[in-house]
Amino acid sequence: MNNIKVFVLLAGMTALMGMLGQALGGQGGMLIALLIAGVMNFYMYFNSSTKVMNAYKAQTITREQAPELYDIIDKLRKRAGLPMPTVGIAPHRQPNAFATGRNAEHAVVCVTQGLLDLVNRDELEGVLAHELGHIKNRDMLLQTITATMSGAVTSLARFGMYSPHQGEGRGSAIGPLLAILAPIAAMIIQFAISRTREFKADAVGAEISGKPLALASALEKLQNSANRIPMDVSPSVAPLAQINPLSAFKGLSKLFSTHPSTEERVERLQAIAVSSAD
């Protein structure tokens, strides 16, 4: 069901981009819009991990620099049947983690220094297993595509607003309206996909670690800390983090949330723990 929902949302994102391009430039505009999305996706496919690591100010590390972290990831990735990812640490006080990269062979698992300072070993295993769940589910590429397409819609909308042909043709009536509404719709679709994949990564992470309650405990700690400790990071990479790192999203409608509520995630993990015990 989750995969079907994601397919429908991606189809909606593509259709939105095509409609915007057509409204602003007719059939040629639609083709140009889809071409822009394709080029941007191609670029991000090969450069996403570098872009994300830079956005979080993260550095890759070796086993000698953080042996416990490295060994936990090595143990869990073997259990998950994955190649060893690159390991990174971001110098943020807010506890959090993310995975990035174009595929399992070029994946990065990164944690913040705040996470290492806060959680115990079982909770750390739960958090890392969640990120390996994203790799196993191939979520990084999906999230890169949705983020890129969302950015392309926004860029195209801005271009349309200032285009000298913006007021011409049969699309003149709806073009300006679409230019305003399309970026909002694209962002809502991007965030909806992100929420769906977080639930899936929680479930797979609980399976990999065998400790769903430890992951649930870690999520509660991360959420409490995120509410108190700000993180300076671009909104475009916020959906990649395990907990929404931007306090600015707090209190907004669920439509504009990059993540499901922590309470619901914890409840689902508790249900997994009960089911596993039976």
Q: Helix and strand tally (H, E) in the chain? A: 8, 4
Distance from C-alpha of 131 to C-alpha of 267, rounded to nearest angstrom: 19
Distance from C-alpha of 206 to C-alpha of 269, rounded to nearest angstrom: 7
Give yes or no for a contact between 186 and 13, defined as CB atoms under 8 angstroms apart. yes
Sequence-separated contacts (24+) of 62-67 with Cβ below 8 Å: 62/87, 66/116
| Two structure tokens written together for 65 | 């620099």
Give which of 150, 144, 262 is closest to 195, Cα–Cα. Answer: 262
Residue found under tokens 């929420």: 195
Residue among 131, 198, 220, 263 flagged as catalytic? 131
Please say if 131 is a catalytic residue.
yes
Residue 156 to residues 3, 16, 31, 43, 149, Cα–Cα distance (Å): 28, 11, 12, 17, 10
| The amino acid at 112 | T
Distance from C-alpha of 32 to C-alpha of 84, rounded to nearest angstrom: 39
Q: What is residue 96's three-state secondary structure?
A: coil
Give yes or no for a contact between 205 and 129, defined as CB atoms under 8 angstroms apart. yes
Known catalytic residues are 131
